[in-house]
Structure 1
Amino acid sequence: MRISTKGRYSLEALLYMVLLPQGEYSSTRTIAENTGISDGYLEQLFIPLRKAGIVQGIRGPQGGYLPGRPVAEITVGEILRAVEGPLEPVACVTENICPMKDTCISTHTWSDLYHEITDCVDAISLADLGAAYYALDKMEYAI
Protein backbone atom coordinates (compact mmCIF):
# COMPACT_ATOMS: atom_id res chain seq x y z
CA MET A 1 0.00 0.00 0.00
CA ARG A 2 1.29 3.43 -0.89
CA ILE A 3 0.11 6.65 0.74
CA SER A 4 -0.20 9.43 -1.84
CA THR A 5 0.62 13.10 -1.45
CA LYS A 6 -2.99 13.61 -0.34
CA GLY A 7 -2.34 11.60 2.81
CA ARG A 8 1.18 12.89 3.44
CA TYR A 9 0.30 16.54 2.90
CA SER A 10 -2.88 16.29 4.96
CA LEU A 11 -0.88 14.92 7.89
CA GLU A 12 1.78 17.59 7.46
CA ALA A 13 -0.80 20.41 7.34
CA LEU A 14 -2.62 19.08 10.39
CA LEU A 15 0.63 18.66 12.31
CA TYR A 16 1.43 22.29 11.51
CA MET A 17 -1.96 23.26 12.95
CA VAL A 18 -1.36 21.12 16.07
CA LEU A 19 1.88 22.98 16.76
CA LEU A 20 0.10 26.35 16.82
CA PRO A 21 -1.24 27.74 20.09
CA GLN A 22 -4.55 26.08 20.93
CA GLY A 23 -7.52 27.80 19.31
CA GLU A 24 -5.42 29.71 16.77
CA TYR A 25 -6.81 29.65 13.24
CA SER A 26 -4.47 29.25 10.31
CA SER A 27 -5.21 30.07 6.69
CA THR A 28 -4.23 27.71 3.91
CA ARG A 29 -1.92 30.45 2.68
CA THR A 30 -0.05 30.50 5.99
CA ILE A 31 0.12 26.71 6.11
CA ALA A 32 1.38 26.70 2.51
CA GLU A 33 4.08 29.27 3.27
CA ASN A 34 5.31 27.26 6.26
CA THR A 35 5.12 23.77 4.78
CA GLY A 36 5.86 24.31 1.10
CA ILE A 37 2.55 22.70 0.10
CA SER A 38 0.58 24.51 -2.61
CA ASP A 39 -2.23 26.72 -1.27
CA GLY A 40 -4.62 25.44 -3.95
CA TYR A 41 -3.80 21.82 -3.13
CA LEU A 42 -4.41 22.47 0.57
CA GLU A 43 -7.81 23.94 -0.25
CA GLN A 44 -8.68 20.73 -2.11
CA LEU A 45 -7.45 18.56 0.77
CA PHE A 46 -9.41 20.51 3.36
CA ILE A 47 -12.73 19.80 1.62
CA PRO A 48 -12.89 16.11 2.65
CA LEU A 49 -11.18 16.90 5.96
CA ARG A 50 -13.90 19.44 6.74
CA LYS A 51 -16.66 17.02 5.68
CA ALA A 52 -15.19 14.40 8.03
CA GLY A 53 -15.15 16.90 10.92
CA ILE A 54 -11.36 16.73 11.17
CA VAL A 55 -10.97 20.47 10.56
CA GLN A 56 -13.33 23.35 10.93
CA GLY A 57 -13.12 26.60 9.04
CA ILE A 58 -14.09 30.18 9.62
CA ARG A 59 -14.55 32.51 6.65
CA GLY A 60 -13.38 36.07 6.44
CA PRO A 61 -10.16 38.04 6.69
CA GLN A 62 -9.34 36.70 10.17
CA GLY A 63 -10.60 33.23 9.33
CA GLY A 64 -8.83 30.01 8.65
CA TYR A 65 -8.82 26.45 9.89
CA LEU A 66 -8.28 24.64 13.15
CA PRO A 67 -8.78 21.04 14.25
CA GLY A 68 -12.46 20.10 14.33
CA ARG A 69 -12.24 18.48 17.76
CA PRO A 70 -9.58 17.68 20.36
CA VAL A 71 -6.41 16.49 18.61
CA ALA A 72 -6.16 13.48 20.93
CA GLU A 73 -9.39 12.22 19.32
CA ILE A 74 -8.27 12.60 15.69
CA THR A 75 -6.31 9.62 14.41
CA VAL A 76 -3.94 9.25 11.50
CA GLY A 77 -6.22 6.51 10.18
CA GLU A 78 -9.22 8.82 10.18
CA ILE A 79 -7.25 11.47 8.27
CA LEU A 80 -5.94 8.99 5.72
CA ARG A 81 -9.40 7.49 5.11
CA ALA A 82 -10.87 10.98 4.66
CA VAL A 83 -8.44 11.94 1.88
CA GLU A 84 -7.27 8.59 0.50
CA GLY A 85 -10.41 6.50 0.82
CA PRO A 86 -10.46 2.94 2.15
CA LEU A 87 -7.15 1.54 3.39
CA GLU A 88 -7.66 -2.10 2.47
CA PRO A 89 -4.92 -3.53 0.23
CA VAL A 90 -7.49 -5.33 -1.98
CA ALA A 91 -11.21 -4.65 -2.35
CA CYS A 92 -12.28 -8.18 -1.44
CA VAL A 93 -11.17 -7.66 2.18
CA THR A 94 -14.16 -5.50 3.05
CA GLU A 95 -16.46 -6.05 0.07
CA ASN A 96 -18.07 -9.35 -0.72
CA ILE A 97 -17.35 -9.13 -4.46
CA CYS A 98 -15.06 -12.09 -5.08
CA PRO A 99 -16.81 -15.27 -6.20
CA MET A 100 -13.88 -17.28 -4.79
CA LYS A 101 -13.85 -15.60 -1.38
CA ASP A 102 -14.69 -18.82 0.51
CA THR A 103 -11.94 -20.82 -1.20
CA CYS A 104 -9.29 -18.15 -1.83
CA ILE A 105 -6.00 -19.01 -0.15
CA SER A 106 -4.81 -15.40 0.07
CA THR A 107 -7.91 -13.88 1.68
CA HIS A 108 -6.55 -14.36 5.19
CA THR A 109 -3.25 -12.71 4.25
CA TRP A 110 -4.99 -9.62 2.87
CA SER A 111 -7.36 -9.50 5.82
CA ASP A 112 -4.50 -9.76 8.34
CA LEU A 113 -2.57 -7.02 6.52
CA TYR A 114 -5.65 -4.77 6.48
CA HIS A 115 -6.19 -5.22 10.23
CA GLU A 116 -2.52 -4.55 11.02
CA ILE A 117 -2.57 -1.36 8.94
CA THR A 118 -5.79 -0.06 10.48
CA ASP A 119 -4.73 -0.99 14.03
CA CYS A 120 -1.48 0.91 13.54
CA VAL A 121 -2.83 4.12 11.99
CA ASP A 122 -5.86 4.21 14.28
CA ALA A 123 -3.60 4.04 17.33
CA ILE A 124 -1.74 7.26 16.45
CA SER A 125 -3.46 10.57 17.21
CA LEU A 126 -2.57 14.08 16.14
CA ALA A 127 -1.66 14.72 19.77
CA ASP A 128 0.84 11.84 19.54
CA LEU A 129 2.40 13.38 16.42
CA GLY A 130 2.68 16.75 18.14
CA ALA A 131 4.32 15.18 21.20
CA ALA A 132 6.76 13.27 18.97
CA TYR A 133 7.66 16.51 17.18
CA TYR A 134 8.40 18.30 20.44
CA ALA A 135 10.43 15.31 21.67
CA LEU A 136 12.57 15.45 18.52
CA ASP A 137 13.00 19.19 18.93
CA LYS A 138 14.41 18.73 22.44
CA MET A 139 16.83 15.94 21.56
CA GLU A 140 20.51 16.74 21.80
CA TYR A 141 22.73 15.52 19.02
CA ALA A 142 26.37 14.60 19.44
CA ILE A 143 28.86 13.28 16.98
Structure 2
Amino acid sequence: MSSEISTNRKARRDYHIGDTYECGIELKGTEVKSIRAGKVNIADSFVRIERGQAFLYGCHIQPWETAGEWFQHAVTRPRRLLLHKKEILKLDQEQAQKGCTLPCLQMYWSGRHVKVKVGVGKGKTHSDQRHDLKARTELREAQREMSRFNQR
Protein backbone atom coordinates (compact mmCIF):
# COMPACT_ATOMS: atom_id res chain seq x y z
CA MET A 1 0.00 0.00 0.00
CA SER A 2 1.31 3.43 -0.92
CA SER A 3 1.93 5.87 1.92
CA GLU A 4 0.40 8.80 0.03
CA ILE A 5 -3.40 8.92 0.04
CA SER A 6 -4.25 12.22 -1.63
CA THR A 7 -2.51 15.45 -2.70
CA ASN A 8 -3.94 18.95 -3.11
CA ARG A 9 -2.30 20.26 -6.29
CA LYS A 10 -4.44 23.40 -6.37
CA ALA A 11 -2.88 24.61 -3.12
CA ARG A 12 0.64 24.86 -4.57
CA ARG A 13 -0.76 26.56 -7.67
CA ASP A 14 -2.84 29.16 -5.81
CA TYR A 15 -0.65 29.89 -2.75
CA HIS A 16 2.94 30.61 -1.78
CA ILE A 17 3.46 27.92 0.86
CA GLY A 18 5.64 28.86 3.81
CA ASP A 19 5.83 26.62 6.88
CA THR A 20 4.26 23.16 6.85
CA TYR A 21 2.92 21.18 9.79
CA GLU A 22 2.20 17.47 10.20
CA CYS A 23 -1.09 16.78 12.00
CA GLY A 24 -2.97 13.73 13.12
CA ILE A 25 -6.65 13.57 12.27
CA GLU A 26 -9.58 12.28 14.31
CA LEU A 27 -11.61 9.84 12.18
CA LYS A 28 -14.45 7.36 12.56
CA GLY A 29 -14.09 3.71 11.60
CA THR A 30 -16.04 3.95 8.35
CA GLU A 31 -13.95 6.96 7.32
CA VAL A 32 -10.73 4.98 7.74
CA LYS A 33 -12.14 2.15 5.61
CA SER A 34 -13.11 4.63 2.87
CA ILE A 35 -9.64 6.19 3.01
CA ARG A 36 -8.06 2.73 2.66
CA ALA A 37 -10.19 2.26 -0.46
CA GLY A 38 -8.88 5.61 -1.80
CA LYS A 39 -12.23 7.41 -1.76
CA VAL A 40 -11.05 10.77 -0.44
CA ASN A 41 -10.70 14.23 -2.01
CA ILE A 42 -8.85 17.11 -0.33
CA ALA A 43 -8.88 19.54 -3.28
CA ASP A 44 -10.85 22.27 -1.48
CA SER A 45 -9.92 21.50 2.11
CA PHE A 46 -8.56 24.05 4.55
CA VAL A 47 -7.92 24.40 8.27
CA ARG A 48 -9.64 26.81 10.63
CA ILE A 49 -8.74 27.42 14.29
CA GLU A 50 -11.82 27.61 16.53
CA ARG A 51 -12.00 27.63 20.34
CA GLY A 52 -8.35 26.62 20.68
CA GLN A 53 -8.68 23.59 18.37
CA ALA A 54 -7.85 23.01 14.72
CA PHE A 55 -10.56 21.69 12.37
CA LEU A 56 -10.27 20.47 8.77
CA TYR A 57 -13.09 21.69 6.52
CA GLY A 58 -13.95 20.67 2.97
CA CYS A 59 -12.36 17.21 3.10
CA HIS A 60 -14.66 14.90 1.15
CA ILE A 61 -14.59 11.24 2.31
CA GLN A 62 -17.19 9.07 0.57
CA PRO A 63 -19.44 6.87 2.70
CA TRP A 64 -18.47 3.23 3.16
CA GLU A 65 -20.83 1.14 1.00
CA THR A 66 -21.30 -1.84 3.30
CA ALA A 67 -21.80 0.09 6.54
CA GLY A 68 -25.28 0.28 8.02
CA GLU A 69 -27.30 3.45 8.34
CA TRP A 70 -26.40 3.88 12.02
CA PHE A 71 -22.65 3.62 11.54
CA GLN A 72 -22.34 5.87 8.49
CA HIS A 73 -20.41 9.15 8.66
CA ALA A 74 -21.24 12.55 7.17
CA VAL A 75 -19.36 13.16 3.93
CA THR A 76 -17.94 16.65 4.56
CA ARG A 77 -18.13 17.04 8.32
CA PRO A 78 -15.44 19.14 10.07
CA ARG A 79 -12.72 16.83 11.37
CA ARG A 80 -10.55 17.70 14.36
CA LEU A 81 -6.79 17.85 13.80
CA LEU A 82 -4.38 16.72 16.49
CA LEU A 83 -1.62 19.26 17.14
CA HIS A 84 0.38 20.50 20.09
CA LYS A 85 -0.97 23.59 21.86
CA LYS A 86 2.01 25.73 20.77
CA GLU A 87 1.50 24.74 17.14
CA ILE A 88 -2.20 25.61 17.33
CA LEU A 89 -1.39 29.05 18.78
CA LYS A 90 1.22 29.66 16.07
CA LEU A 91 -1.21 28.62 13.32
CA ASP A 92 -3.86 30.92 14.84
CA GLN A 93 -1.44 33.85 14.66
CA GLU A 94 -0.55 33.01 11.06
CA GLN A 95 -4.22 32.73 10.11
CA ALA A 96 -5.00 36.11 11.69
CA GLN A 97 -2.62 37.88 9.27
CA LYS A 98 -4.22 39.44 6.23
CA GLY A 99 -4.06 37.26 3.12
CA CYS A 100 -2.94 34.10 4.95
CA THR A 101 -4.80 30.81 4.85
CA LEU A 102 -4.10 27.25 5.97
CA PRO A 103 -4.67 24.86 3.02
CA CYS A 104 -4.41 21.10 3.39
CA LEU A 105 -1.52 19.97 1.19
CA GLN A 106 -1.39 16.21 1.54
CA MET A 107 -2.96 13.24 3.31
CA TYR A 108 -0.81 10.16 3.88
CA TRP A 109 -0.22 7.07 6.03
CA SER A 110 2.39 7.15 8.77
CA GLY A 111 2.49 3.59 10.01
CA ARG A 112 -1.15 2.78 10.68
CA HIS A 113 -2.18 6.39 11.35
CA VAL A 114 -3.54 8.92 8.86
CA LYS A 115 -1.59 12.18 8.84
CA VAL A 116 -2.39 15.52 7.19
CA LYS A 117 0.19 18.05 6.01
CA VAL A 118 -1.01 21.63 6.44
CA GLY A 119 0.78 24.65 5.00
CA VAL A 120 0.69 28.35 5.72
CA GLY A 121 -0.30 29.89 2.39
CA LYS A 122 -0.25 33.44 1.09
CA GLY A 123 -2.40 33.96 -2.02
CA LYS A 124 -0.74 34.28 -5.42
CA THR A 125 -1.82 36.85 -7.94
CA HIS A 126 -2.56 35.93 -11.53
CA SER A 127 0.81 37.31 -12.66
CA ASP A 128 2.60 35.15 -10.07
CA GLN A 129 0.87 32.08 -11.47
CA ARG A 130 1.90 33.01 -15.01
CA HIS A 131 5.49 33.58 -13.86
CA ASP A 132 5.60 30.11 -12.26
CA LEU A 133 4.19 28.52 -15.41
CA LYS A 134 6.78 30.31 -17.55
CA ALA A 135 9.63 29.18 -15.28
CA ARG A 136 8.45 25.54 -15.42
CA THR A 137 8.20 25.69 -19.23
CA GLU A 138 11.72 27.13 -19.56
CA LEU A 139 13.12 24.46 -17.23
CA ARG A 140 11.42 21.70 -19.21
CA GLU A 141 12.78 23.06 -22.52
CA ALA A 142 16.30 23.32 -21.07
CA GLN A 143 16.13 19.70 -19.91
CA ARG A 144 14.99 18.59 -23.37
CA GLU A 145 17.90 20.40 -25.01
CA MET A 146 20.36 18.85 -22.54
CA SER A 147 19.01 15.37 -23.26
CA ARG A 148 19.26 15.95 -27.04
CA PHE A 149 22.81 17.19 -26.65
CA ASN A 150 23.78 14.18 -24.51
CA GLN A 151 22.30 11.69 -27.01
CA ARG A 152 24.78 12.74 -29.73
TM-score band by shorter chain is under 0.3
- Report which structure shows greater RCO (CA 8 Å, sep ≥6): 2
Structure number with the higher strand fraction is 2
Structure number with the higher helix fraction is 1
Q: TM-score, normalised by structure 2?
A: 0.25
Rg comparison, structure with higher value: 2
